């Protein structure tokens, strides 16, 4: 059995972008993870690491994107996500680049709202969402 999973917890950097792929909703969002430490000189160092997430609804249209991300996940919302790490290669101006993202689809994925963005009208559900049992359209 092969297994790869990454866990990310941080704040959504901007409102998720939601698109339709062959009748299935797909959300793309970026998560900021803050790191703070004191270096050898005694200076405090603050760094922000960005992670791209791609979340897929189930083929029945009642999955993670429709039920949780679209109505509740906004810029500033604190989230917890577990998914499959994907490394994509693309070429730009004759140079090969690599890009990293976390894919949330299927039973091995988890997405939880840990806190809501400030001054938003609706309240987020307390329960977590998992895409268990959803079909992926590819």
DSSP state string for 102-122: EEE-STT-EEEEEE--TT-SS
Contacts of residue 86, Cβ cutoff 8 Å, sequence gap at least 6: 54, 100, 101, 102, 103
Of the two residues 107 and 34, the one the predictor is more confident about is 34
Question: Alpha helix locations (H) across 1-138?
Answer: 64, 70-72
Distance CA(17)–CA(117), nearest Å, equals 16
Quote the pLDDT of residue 121.
44
Q: What is the pTM of this model?
A: 0.77
Summarize the confidence of residues 8-29 as an average pLDDT.
95
User: Hey, which of 10-14, 104-108, 111-115, 129-133 has the most confident mean pLDDT?
Assistant: 10-14
Quote the pLDDT of residue 60.
65
Q: Which two tokens stand for residue 47?
A: 């760094």
pLDDT tens digits, 73-102: 999 999 999 999 999 999 999 999 999 999
Quote the pLDDT of residue 116.
73
Using a pLDDT cut of 70, give the percent of the chain over it: 81
Q: Where are the domains of the chain?
A: 6-130
pLDDT tens digits, 51-62: 999 999 986 667
**Domain 6-130, second-level architecture:** Beta Barrel (2.40)
Of the two residues 135 and 108, the one the predictor is more confident about is 108
Q: Are residues 83 and 100 in contact, defined by beta-carbon separation less than 8 angstroms? A: no
pLDDT tens digits, 117-129: 655 444 444 334 4
The count of other CB atoms within 10 Å of the CB of residue 33 is 13
């Amino acid at each position: 059995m092969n297994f790869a999973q990454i866990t990310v917890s941080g704040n959504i950097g901007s409102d998720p972008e939601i698109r339709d792929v062959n009748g299935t909703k797909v959300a793309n969002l970026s998560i900021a993870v803050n790191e703070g430490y004191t270096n050898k000189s005694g200076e405090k160092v603050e760094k922000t690491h960005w992670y791209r997430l791609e979340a897929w609804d189930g083929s029945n249209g009642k999955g993670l994107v429709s039920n949780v991300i679209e109505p509740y996940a906004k810029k500033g919302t604190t989230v917890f996500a577990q998914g499959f790490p994907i490394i994509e290669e693309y070429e730009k101006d004759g140079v090969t680049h690599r890009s990293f993202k976390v894919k949330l689809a299927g039973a091995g994925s988890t997405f939880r709202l840990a806190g809501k963005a400030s001054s938003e009208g609706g309240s987020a559900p307390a329960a977590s969402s998992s895409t268990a049992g959803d079909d992926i359209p590819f």
